Every structure is written in C-alpha cells, then in structure tokens.
Amino acid sequence: MHTLEPFFNWRHLYIASEDSQSPFSGYQNSEVYFTHAIYDHVIHPQWDELGSSTLFMKQLYADYDTGYTILEFIGEWNDAIENDVMRLKRNILEPMMDAGIDKFILIGENILNFHGSDDCYYEEWFDEIEDGWIAMVNFREHILEEMTEMGIDNYLISGGKFMDFSWRTAHPDALFKKVEAQVQLRLGNAF
C-alpha cells in the first residue's frame, strides 16, 4: 500500500495545502517519512488525515465558483467502529460546504472495505447541500452493495457508469462536466 500515491497530475492546477478555503490549508506532508498506516500497512506519506485510523484522503481539486470538489480516498471506510462518515463530515466536508462546495466527486478505487452503521450523517450531508449532489466514482462493487444494504445509496449517486470512470486523463473541469451530465440523467429519470 505504501506505493499507492494520491493522484498528482493536477498539482499544477490545485494544491489543497495552498488553498486558504480548504480544510487542508497549511497541511504539511512528509516527502520521505511514512508516518501513517492502515492496520499494519504503511501508506504513502502524501495521503492526508481526516481523523480516522483506517481512512485517508486527498483533496485533488476544488472550484468554488462552480461549487465542486474532487476527493480521492484510500483504506477502509469504517462507520461501525471509527464513525468515518461523521469524522469526514465534521472535519472536512462542513468547512468545504461553508466555502460554497455543494457538489462532491468521491473517488473510491482504493477503498478496500466498508463497514456501515446507520445513514444519519449521510442523510444530514445530503440535506445540507440542497441543490448539490454526491457522486461516488470507481467504488468497488462489494462496497456499493454494502452501502445499499445500509440505505446509504438514497443519498449518494453511484453504480452504473460511475463504476468504471476514466478520470485520470481528464482535466478536472471535464471530469466534473462528465459526472454532472450523468447525475442529471439519473436525477431526470428519478422523477
């Protein structure tokens, strides 16, 4: 796991630690020391903490004018023991929402497990973004199935074309437009 780096090809466009509106403003990552681990597996030092011992992330991009952010995750999403969604919402998402972000693209190809508890924080997050949305891109099928069993899929858009999104070669704005088009198709079909 120590070789899995957060996506870095947009660093010439955006660096969260240099964004005064980001919850990661001023955050310093080590370039050489592996200081974090998920269980007994060290992870690359460029992943950022969100307050969980099993889930780490990187804010890859934010556009405050359009109101979206792209977040990449690694590890185990554990609401049952770690209450990861509460930590994510309180420590990371609420400051982003206060800065005008209401559209969230969550990239989950490096999420290996999910352990659910209830849907309260997901519902709260969903209710607070009013005209926004939460899209889950490239999450593994077994994780989406477990989230569906917990009823979390009522608040997040996932599955279908979101299961195999080619995003690494796109500009963040192009990725946003592609995701938003799929979201609008889904929402249009929901009514």
**Among candidate residues 95, 109, 86, the one with its CA nearest the CA of residue 158:** 109
Question: Is 152 a member of any domain?
Answer: yes
**Among candidate residues 159, 158, 145, 67, the one with its CA nearest the CA of residue 104:** 67
Question: Is 155 a member of any domain?
Answer: yes
Question: Is 2 a member of any domain?
Answer: no
Give the pLDDT of the chain (191 residues) as one tens digit per residue. Answer: 567 889 999 999 999 999 999 999 999 887 778 888 888 889 999 999 999 999 999 999 999 999 999 999 999 999 999 899 999 999 999 999 999 999 999 999 999 999 999 899 999 999 999 899 999 999 999 999 999 999 999 999 999 999 988 999 999 999 999 999 999 998 776 54
Question: Is 113 a member of any domain?
Answer: yes
* Integer Rg of the chain from CA: 16
What CATH number has the domain bearing residue 58? 3.30.750.24
For residue 31, what pLDDT is reported? 76
Beta pairing class for 48-49 and 41-42: unpaired
For residue 2, what pLDDT is reported? 65
For residue 84, what pLDDT is reported? 95
Question: Is 17 a member of any domain?
Answer: no
Question: Is 143 a member of any domain?
Answer: yes
Question: Is 159 a member of any domain?
Answer: yes
For residue 40, what pLDDT is reported? 86
For residue 191, what pLDDT is reported? 44
Q: What angle do CA 23, 49, 4 make, to 5 degrees?
A: 120
**Domains: count for the chain:** 1
Please give the residue range of the domain that contains residue 120.
Answer: 50-190
Question: Is 61 a member of any domain?
Answer: yes
Single pTM value for the model? 0.94
The first and second tokens of residue 179, run together, are 């995701």
